[in-house]
A = this chain, B = another copy of it.
Amino acid sequence: MRIGELSERTGTSRRLLRYYEEQGLIVSQRCENGYRSYDESSVDRVGQVRGLLDAGLPTRIIKQILPCLDKPRVIHFRDATPEMLALLEHERDRMTERANFLLRNRDAISAYLDEVRANAGAPR
Q: A75-B119, A99-B102 are in contact. Are A54 and B56 (CB under 8 A)?
A: yes
Residues in chain A within 8 A of chain B (CB atoms): 48, 51-52, 54-56, 65, 68-69, 73, 75, 77, 80, 85, 88-89, 91-92, 95-96, 98-103, 105-106, 108-113, 115-116, 119, 124
**Can you report 9 residue pairs joining A to B where beta carbons are below 8 Å apart?**
A52-B105, A55-B55, A56-B56, A73-B111, A73-B115, A85-B116, A92-B109, A95-B102, A99-B106
Looking across the interface, which residue of chain B has its beta carbon closest to that of A101? B51
| A52 contact set on B, CB distance < 8 A | 101, 105
CB < 8 Å: which of B69, B75, B116 contacts A108? B69
